A and B are shown apart, each in its own frame.
Chain A
Amino acid sequence: MSWHRIRTVIRRHAYVLWRAPHRWFDIAFWPLMDVILFGSLGTFIAQQSNESETAVPYLLAGIMLFHVLFQSQIAVATGFMEETWSRNLLNVLTTPVTEVEYVAGTAIFGLAKVLLALTTLSLTAFGFFRFDLGAVGWSLIPIALILTIVGWGVGIANIGIVLRFGQGAEILIWGSNFILMAFSGVFNPVEALPGVLQPIARVLPSTHAFSALRDVLAGQPLDGGSIAAGLAGALVFLVGGTAFSVAMLRTFRHRGYVTRFS
């Protein structure tokens, strides 16, 4: 594995971010809109009932941490898609850069996008609603780590799906975020989901991360069990997503699908 080539992947995507104003929607505009939406919703709930003063922190912390997963996922998946959108995939495949190096570059670049998005979220959440995510403290780190790894795993799996089924499958890159948001208990405990759906939520590592977040917001200590379960599940997602994508890449090369993208 070559760090020089990984750095070059990062540079390639930094150029794209710099030159493509619509990419800033992901790290500036959508975070701003989410803070306004969920912060206002929390404020309204709090106004309806004195017992619901925690609504704003629950909703804003949830959406802010969800952006960690969201940004990590789309950075990896759209990093690859950038090569298909610009019909550059064959050019990349005929260089020495390996699949692992390419994904590593997009994942590392994704961390920069997470930081940029969190900066937007933090500034606007504090500016509009006086909510400071940093007050949660160091407990955020293991929670964010789980969500980052889940995002990478799902992003890598989405690359595999596009390799196998073509560009039409790219809808899943955005669709998978909505699925994860609905089933991970981003704003609510698993018990609030319809009973028949709860088993799905319980197997998602992101559910454990958001459950741990709510505990911390409620003033309880970080739940080591939730963190351990979330971390283990996140690693399963990463390994599983990678194994799936490797298999899809093998099919892609075997069936000559590269011609679809060139």
Chain B
Amino acid sequence: MLEARSLRKRFKDVEAVRDIDITVAPGERVGLLGPNGAGKTTTLLMLLGAITPDHGEITIGGHALPRHRSRAMEVVGFAAGYLPLPDRLKVSEALGVFAGWYGVRDHRSAVRQALERFEITHLADRLCSELSSGQRTLVGIVKATLHDPALLVLDEPTASLDPDVALRVRSGLLTFCATSGAALLVTSHDMREVEMLTERVIFVARGEVVANDTPAAVAALYGHVDLEQVFLSLAAEHGRDER
């Protein structure tokens, strides 16, 4: 579904991504983890075509970036917890616009179904600017699933959500992936969320992949019982001088 080889990116004197390979198989759920400044967001933005890598190749659904970016994005749904939505539009209008850009012909029906999937149909007529941060995050995730993408890319999807809402989002995402067969690539600082959502994790530190296996195998590799402890030890080992 997604194949990225030898990605490298430097911003002036900072080597943000050194040499990263990422593959996500169809239907596979993968977590991209690492301390702040590890290169996760730069990697994600390269995978989405928003940043051009200095080196490396990216293919999504058989479409190579940057040449076939538009075709590649037809099969990708992206949401980030930190991104707002068009503030002068109602939720249903904003989602309808994104559905149109994703090529959905019957945008009203797609919006209704997507809102029902995450149980937020009551937000349809609210202005995006009036949403709470949690509601905005939910609508952002709905936006990413409007066109039944084959690959969901989520950057910190539940960062601003209350625990009960975050749980509902995780359950919704798992159901969506199970029923649609979509693959998932997600970044998060919530290791319990990662263990719940993903089958495989890729740990990144200082722009390099330092571990790539199932959550249990990665924990075992570092002699810990869970990913939380792995994260803390990797952050201490690789991230301290970057913050």
Residue from B52, B98, B153 within 8 A of A91 (CB atoms): B98
In the complex, what distance in Å separates the CA atom of A262 from the CA atom of B49?
Answer: 15
CB distance from A148 to the nearest CB of B (A): 25
Closest residue on chain B to residue A98 by CB atoms: B70
Question: B100 to chain A: which residues have CB within 8 Å?
Answer: 4-5, 7-8, 11
Q: How large, as a class, is the contact surface on chain B?
A: 35 or more
B88 A96 Cβ-Cβ under 8 A: no
Q: Is the CB of A97 within 8 A of B83?
A: no
Q: Does B45 contact A (CB under 8 A)?
A: yes
The answer to whether B11 and A255 have CB atoms under 8 Å apart is yes
* Contact partner, B70, options A8, A19, A97, Cβ 8 Å: A97
**Measured between C-beta atoms, what is the minimum distance from B122 to chain A in Å?**
20
Instruction: Jot down 20 A-B pairs with beta carbons below 8 A, ordered by A.
Output: A4-B103, A5-B100, A86-B84, A86-B87, A90-B45, A90-B50, A91-B78, A94-B73, A94-B76, A95-B102, A96-B70, A96-B101, A96-B103, A98-B70, A250-B52, A253-B51, A256-B45, A256-B51, A258-B45, A262-B80
Contact residue among B42, B66, B96, B101 (Cβ-Cβ distance under 8 Å from A95): B101
Q: Which residue in B76, B97, B103 is a CB contact (below 8 Å) of A12?
A: B97
Q: Which residue of A lies closest to B127 (CB)?
A: A19
Contact residues of A between 1 and 19, Cβ < 8 Å to B: 2, 4-5, 7-9, 11-12, 15-16, 19
Interface residues of B in 1-25 (CB under 8 A from A): 9, 11
With A5-B103, A19-B89, A96-B74 as contacts: A253 and B52 at CB distance below 8 Å: yes
Determine if B159 is an interface residue (Cβ-Cβ < 8 Å): no
Q: Which residues of A contact B148 (CB under 8 A)?
A: none
Smallest CB separation, B18 vs chain A (Å): 16
Give CA–CA (A86, B9) in the complex, Å: 28
B103 and A253 within 8 A (CB): no
Apart from A97-B70, A253-B49, 18 more pairs, CB < 8 Å: A8-B100, A15-B86, A15-B88, A19-B88, A86-B85, A86-B86, A87-B83, A90-B45, A90-B83, A91-B85, A92-B101, A94-B48, A94-B73, A94-B153, A95-B101, A96-B101, A256-B51, A259-B45
